[in-house]
Amino acid sequence: MQIQTDMVVSIEYTLKNDAGEILDANDEAGPLHYLHGHGNIVEGLETALAGRSVGDSLDVSVAPEQGYGVRDETLIFDVPRKNLPQDLEPEVGMQLGMSSEEGETVPVWIRSVSAESVRLDANHELAGETLHFSVKVLGIRPSTPQELAHGHVHGPGGHHHH
């Protein structure tokens, strides 16, 4: 069986940056299960996995445009400290949640703090980075109608509805 759209795929991966530092790995957490062709993983990795079979191992470098995007300097902005919650003691590197115009919570990171304002960055932390994945395909199965309708994996290793 080969990986194709609408299949549930289980992988083991290690993600490194250009310097070879490990940014993420799932070897201890168990396999990552995702629904292929539904944007559940970064585009460049999903494209590289298409057509692969159980047991295949591959190394893939994903450019920012097919990973977490290029850095957008318009997503870096200053907010007056008086607009932050009074009990918040802002620190560089801290992650906060902001509401978008659509009402969704968007993660932002504090990049600098002054007496008057805080510089926030809404770029994904890996925006602008080339991602280097080492991946092994552990399993492939057809998806269920419910998984297709919801656009993600259910059951062990996937999402559960209550």
Whole-prediction pTM: 0.82
pLDDT tens for 126-150 read: 999 999 999 999 999 999 999 999 9
User: Per DSSP, which regions of 21-89 are E strands?
Assistant: 22-25, 32-35, 57-62, 76-80
Q: Domains, the chain, ranges and CATH?
A: 7-68+127-150 (3.10.50.40), 73-121 (2.40.10.330)
Which residues, listed in sequence order, are joined to residue 96 by a DSSP beta bridge? 108
- The first and second tokens of residue 9, run together, are 């795929």
pLDDT tens for 30-74 read: 999 999 999 999 999 999 999 999 999 999 999 999 999 999 999
Which element (helix H / strand E) includes 140?
strand 131-142
Whether pLDDT at 100 is above 90: no
